[in-house]
Amino acid sequence: MIGSGLGGLTAAALLAKHGKRVLVCESHSIPGGAAHGFQRQGFTFDSGPSFYCGLGDPQGRNPLRAVLRLLGESVPAVPYDPLGYYHLPEGTLPIYGDLARYQAEIARVNSQAATEFGNLSQRLLQIYAPLRELPTLALRADWPLLRTLLLRYPLATAKLLLRLRDLRQSL
């Protein structure tokens, strides 16, 4: 017996896929936890999480997308770009998913900030590169994870271990 938030629905779907009997119980009138919407006067509103970057990309790294792919399911997704805006004293800064476009917008507001952002982005991308080789659903927060990664994904794990010193530093 589990609730019907995103975590509960994900657990229920995966357990059912692997032959377990599951009962989903919810105390509210609709499933989905915080991830639902409502309509008023012909408009639809999100009332919960709404930033699902990569959900519409069939090969995307979004964890929810990985679960949907595993279950053979899909949901309609409309990409939006810019993803949002920062309203600063110097002006409004659009947030783009495309790194070069985002950095160009930062440069429009502050060239030094754009340079620093570019340097930080390169460091983060070096850390992210080996993570892209690991399935999102294989990651978890326990020590046996290291054994699993070494046995199933030795090359990606070795690359990630080489970046370990970067992971312990404040980014």
Task: Decide if 9 contacts 26 (C-beta within 8 A).
Answer: no
31 and 74 in a single domain? The answer is no
The total number of structural domains in the chain stands at: 2
Q: What is the pLDDT of residue 1?
A: 60
Residue 169, helix vs strand vs coil: coil
In the structure, what pLDDT confidence band is assigned to residue 154 with cuts at 50, 70 and 90?
very high
Instruction: Answer for the pair 124, 115: CB distance below 8 angstroms, yes or no.
Output: no
Residue for token pair 């991308």: 125
3, part of any domain? yes
User: What does 97-160 look like in DSSP terms, one character per residue?
Assistant: SSHHHHHHHHHHH-HHHHHHHHHHHHHHHHHHHHHTTS-GGG--SSTHHHHHHHHH-HHHHHHH
Q: Is there a single domain that holds both residue 36 and residue 61?
A: no
Write out pLDDT tens, residues 52-110: 566 766 666 677 777 888 888 877 777 778 888 999 898 899 999 889 999 999 999 99
pTM above 0.75, yes or no: no
Asked whether 25 and 3 are in contact (CB, 8 A), the reply is: yes
pLDDT attached to residue 8: 87
Residue 117 backbone phi and psi in degrees, to 5: -65, -40
State which residues form the domain around 71.
51-79
Place of tokens 């709404």: 50
The amino acid present at 134, given as its one-letter code, is L
120 or 163, which is more confident?
120
pLDDT at 99: 92
Q: What is the mean pLDDT of the chain?
A: 83
Percent of the chain residues past pLDDT 90, beyond the cut:
25
Q: Is the pLDDT of residue 48 over 80?
A: no
123 belongs to a structural domain: no
Q: Residue 111 above 80 pLDDT?
A: yes
Clarify whether residues 65 and 42 are in a common domain: no
